[in-house]
Amino acid sequence: MTERLDLKAFEVRTDLAIEAREQQNVADQGMMVNEKNENGIKITRMTIKPAVSTRMKKKPGNYLTFEARELRSGDTEVEEKVEKAFARYFARFLIDLGISHEASCLVVGLGNRKVTPDALGPSVIENLLVTRHLFDLQPQNVQKGYRPVSAITPGVMGLTGIETSDIILGVIEKSKPDFVIAVDALAARSIERVNTTIQVSDSGINPGSGIGNNRKELSRDTLGIPVVAVGVPTVVDAVTITSDVLDLLLKHLSKEMSNTRPSKSLVPSWLPFGEKENYQDIELPGKEKRTTFLGLVGTLSQSEKAQLIQEALGASGSQMMVTPKEVDFFIEKMGNILAGGLNAALHQQVNQENVGHFTH
């Protein structure tokens, strides 16, 4: 008897709950989903129930996601819109968790500042408005509308030799914050979501998950207080990119064949002049067309395709994590956006028109 191959190990992984939902095609009865579009920003609120958490490979909890593809343009107006939306919804997220405006907070910037795609956490901390020392040393000078906020960048285990969760637990035992905000870089399933998406969740986080190097999780279970995770996908693995290229090719060829006047080049003839293609919104062609275009490869499932690509890339190539060449620019921008949004969400007194410009 032929042993059936377990393809779970070859599934394209993602740290984003919205992508896990798309990838697993989970029925909505196992979760609550609310989507809206605000000023060009797609905002998704998702509650994952225990019944589907195992299948989705995501812990049960609440997930809030912001998607703004225009962030890649470098437009400061777009950045300001995202920052304000993030601040407003994040403040509401804390209230829904029962966290008061006066509750003290420890913000943890996870990651390695020497590795640019993993430097998001330290970048946020550099621009964060910390106030805990003022409450301790000069409480009479602290205006109403601020809360005690402390911050730490614990580094990575490879540099410190200490589990990140142990460092944070030690800081919590001494400073006794009411809740923790952990900021980290993530990995995406889709190239389109790299550096254009922000995810917030109350289910905790595993440091190093963005590069497939999971450490002990940071959550209410391990730290004893609420943990709110904030992440931005900065990398995609090589297997995902290769798989996406095959899917894009199938979508393009399908569209060209269905067009009455197909082009003789790879420039999409089915788009109005000057309009950019958005392949993410296009459905894959049926099995018959996929077989015509790519033969046996076109009929493979996502897991089978991932297995084939991993075998083709070899042991070293399949472990590659890829990031855009402008990653240093994106990390700085996203660090400013998250820090500005957190400043406004954590401190009622902060004028939201001027967030994002606090520096030490």
pLDDT in tens, the chain (360 residues): 344 444 444 455 688 888 888 766 555 556 788 999 999 999 999 998 888 888 787 889 999 999 998 998 888 999 999 999 999 999 999 999 999 999 999 999 999 988 899 999 999 999 999 999 998 888 888 888 899 999 999 988 878 888 888 999 999 999 999 999 999 999 988 888 899 999 999 998 877 554 555 567 889 988 999 999 999 999 988 888 888 888 888 887 887 777 656 555 555 544 554 455 566 667 788 888 888 888 888 888 877 887 888 888 776 655 678 888 889 999 999 999 999 999 999 998 885 444 433 333
- Supply the pLDDT for residue 316: 62
Which amino acid belongs to residue 18?
I
**How far is it, in rounded angstroms, from Cα 296 to Cα 63?**
38
Contact between 175 and 132 under an 8 Å Cβ cutoff? The reply is yes
- DSSP assignment of 110-146 equals -S-TTSGGG-HHHHHHHT----HHHHHH-GGGPPTT-
According to DSSP, residue 300 is labeled: -
Closest to 45 measured CA to CA, from 252, 201, 167: 201
What is each CA distance from 260 to 8, 250, 255, 263, 281, in whole angstroms? 41, 18, 10, 10, 21
Domain chopping of the chain, boundaries: 11-235+325-354, 240-321
Query: Rounded to 5 degrees, what are φ and ψ at 326?
Result: -90, 25
Give helix then strand counts, H and E, for the chain: 12, 9
CATH of domain 11-235+325-354: 3.40.50.1450
**How far is it, in rounded angstroms, from Cα 34 to Cα 37?**
11
- According to DSSP H, which parts of the chain are helical? 17-24, 50-56, 76-96, 120-126, 132-137, 157-160, 164-175, 220-223, 238-258, 287-294, 302-317, 327-346
Considering only CA atoms, give the Rg of the chain: 22
What is each CA distance from 55 to 17, 33, 181, in whole angstroms? 12, 17, 27
- Supply the pLDDT for residue 357: 39
- Supply the pLDDT for residue 7: 42
